[in-house]
Structure 1
Amino acid sequence: MSTFQLYRSPETAVPAGRLRVSSLGIHEAMLPGMLRYHQQRELLLMFFHTPARAGHETDCRGGFILWPHGTLCYYGNPERSWDHSWCVLEGSAANLLRELHGLPAGRALKADAEPVFLRYFEAILRELNSRQQQDEYVLEHLVDLLFYELSRLIRNPELQIPKRLQRAEEFMWTRIADPLTLEEIAREAALSVSRFSSLFHRYYGEPPMQYLNRKRMNLAAQQLLYHAGSCKQIAEMTGFADQFHFSRRFRQFWGVSPREFRAEKMLRHLHGGGEVAGHTDL
């Protein structure tokens, strides 16, 4: 069950050898807009959880892209908030592994790979946070497995998420400000509630309403960090008509109130924690 997480290697980190992770973000929700970034590292791997554009591709939801060194990256959604995960890889092994598994660079690939990305990004993040210096051997094997699973998804379309579940997941995101019921979401997939819940859990790794709540809590956290909006405005934006209900659910999920979350994260950012930085300095 993934929440917003961010890693940036220390400025004093040892220069890249075979493989080094310089930064990684999981479920970073962004405000409407397009980002332009000149990729100067070895490889930038990016997955889009929600509708977004990347380069010349206009519909990248559920897809991923590998931006190689020297590429001008252009991505985002100019019409509404969007959510993505990403990782910057350095060292000679990054492109060698990409070539070994036949993953094209510079263009978006549709693979319905959200469970794969979350599983390996979280494993990489745990490894990075467990020691002071990066272990190239462990990281290289994790990236190798990630690339293998991505190439397997591309080769085997039957492993991908059924279209009706994708429609339901898209419905959740586009209606995230509405108080949706499980029956409404299942109807969008043209399935009974029990069948929909079972299939959704199988492909997304958690029950649909738990998944929706996590999406809302991630979006609320991002709004608290990046926006000056009031808690009441953020509550309405994330599907809560009652500000007190929103605050209670937020505390249950994050362990602190919305006001405490905003104050704690901003204070950490001011003291150099780097937890609220965006992509402008990847």
Structure 2
Amino acid sequence: MLTVVGYYDWQSNEKSVSEEEFFVHCCGRYKLVRTERFQTERPQGAANYQLIYIADGSARFMMDGKLYTLEKGNCILYRPGEAQYYYYHLEEHPDIYWVHFSCHEGCALLEQLNFQEGNIYNVGIHNSYIHLFDNIIQELQLKQPFCEEQLKLMIQQLLLKMGRNRMIQNNLFENYNKEVEEAIRLFHLAPEKDYTIKEFTRERGLNYYRFIDTFTKYVGMSPRQYIINIRMTTAKELLTNSLFQISEVAQLTGYDNPLYFSRLFKKTWGVSPTEYRNISGKA
């Protein structure tokens, strides 16, 4: 069996607890290579939380007297004191990542991410999970300065990614739309570009009015206003640099007419570009 494990210290295991808001005790990867069967049976459970992610193959879990076979892309979260019965079989090619961690009772993050009901969650297949698990293992092995803080951030990031992807996969995030997400990335990549929303939708075979409606519901403003907000925020940053004339700032943010740019800037921020430059220069 391929085993890669990292421990906070040599006493860290399923019995470890911490008073910290989030604390990682140990983390590892199990992959059956020759061993026919591997099992864990803890009738009294663990003293901490255990998150198990199936990166490949499948694994079996006994919950409330019922045996579940979970495929890759699923995870199971055991809370402190919950009975743990799980079994890995070579013919099912399991590749499993796991982590034991402590967090406060009634953890707001777990509740916010809908990890409070049930134990089994479909979080999808994402390389980012593997990357985070591997980094957590390495951090536990190397124990570099500030490792506790780094581990806290990484376990929270792992939970956040899983929670977000679970919500998207289960359509719990009603306004989620991949085309809107693509548009946001493009707008931020080159906000100065003369985007025509009709051209954007036509090139992608989208319904213009439906896209406008979906974008507005998802983001809270129209695509045009979103682009303006990006440009005006960029303009504020550029105006703090005295090397740029106001007309140059206008061009860099997508406006050939400096007067129109100035009017739009004042409408957005309540002061003209000149006034903002004077104020920021005195700050």
With normalisation by structure 1, the TM-score equals 0.47
- More strand per residue: 1 or 2? 2
